[in-house]
Amino acid sequence: MKLRLILLAGLALTAPALADGTGTITVSGSVSPACYFGSPVATTLNVGTLANQADGTLAPITPQSTTIPSSWCNTGSTIGIIASPLVAQSYIGSPPAGFTKAVNYTATAAGWATNSASFTTTGDTSGGGNGTTPGTQTTSDPVAQTITVTVSNFLAPSAGNRLVADPNYSSTITVTLAATH
């Protein structure tokens, strides 16, 4: 009897393992849509003298540009641009008939999507009534590019308008970049 107990104990000690252990751990992560907008090389574009000294109407104005380097979006994106008319800052009230204190122009943002995003201001002689819907262009792929912003096609609200004297005509262009996914 004593011998049997000893044998059983021996069997238990030498029994082989009956199961092997395997563990799988899933590692996951995600990358959210993101866009980075670089800083404009020039934050101010001075187009100089706006009026023709001979007759006071709008002078031919050379288009001006600046760039926004190092911009990227890691997914599809939409670039938008909106601008305000150039308006005399010191002149109070509405200008007399035949005069204007606002100048319209077209602002474009090129280099991001296939086509340039553009916005043409539509201010009246006081600068009011401008559009509020940005010009946009969308691309479905990630993009890392330099954006070129250009202002051109300066026009008075009505042909023949004379510009009121003012040392400070100013306006603002806003360029935006947004992921679409």
Partner 1 sequence: MLKTILLASAAVALLAAPSFAVNSANIAITGSVAGVCSITNATTSIDLGNLPVDATTGLYTGSQFSEPMTGTVWCNGTSNTVTAVANPLITTAVTPLIGTFTNRIDYQLKINLVDWVTLDTASSPSVTINSLAPFSYTSNQNSTITTENTTLPPIAGNYAGSVVITVTPGP
Question: Which residues in this chain contact partner 1 in the complex, by CB under 8 A?
Answer: 25, 27-40, 42-51, 53-56, 61, 64, 66, 68, 83, 86, 88, 90-91, 95-96, 98-99, 103, 105, 149, 151, 162-178
Q: How many CB atoms lie within 10 A of CB 67?
A: 17
Residue 13 C-beta: closest distance to partner 1, Å: 29
DSSP 87: E
Q: How many CB atoms lie within 10 A of CB 33?
A: 14
Q: Which residue has the tokens 């993101």?
A: 34
Residue 14 C-beta: closest distance to partner 1, Å: 30
36 or 128, CB closer to partner 1?
36
14 or 28, CB closer to partner 1?
28
Give yes or no for a contact between 73 and 161, defined as CB atoms under 8 angstroms apart: no
9 or 34, CB closer to partner 1?
34
Which residues contact residue 137 at a Cβ distance below 8 angstroms, ignoring those fewer than 6 apart?
A: 78, 79, 109, 112, 113, 114, 115, 116, 117
Residue 129 C-beta: closest distance to partner 1, Å: 18
Q: Of the candidates 45, 159, 36, which has an alpha carbon nearest to the alpha carbon of residue 107? A: 45
Residue 10 C-beta: closest distance to partner 1, Å: 35
9 or 42, CB closer to partner 1?
42
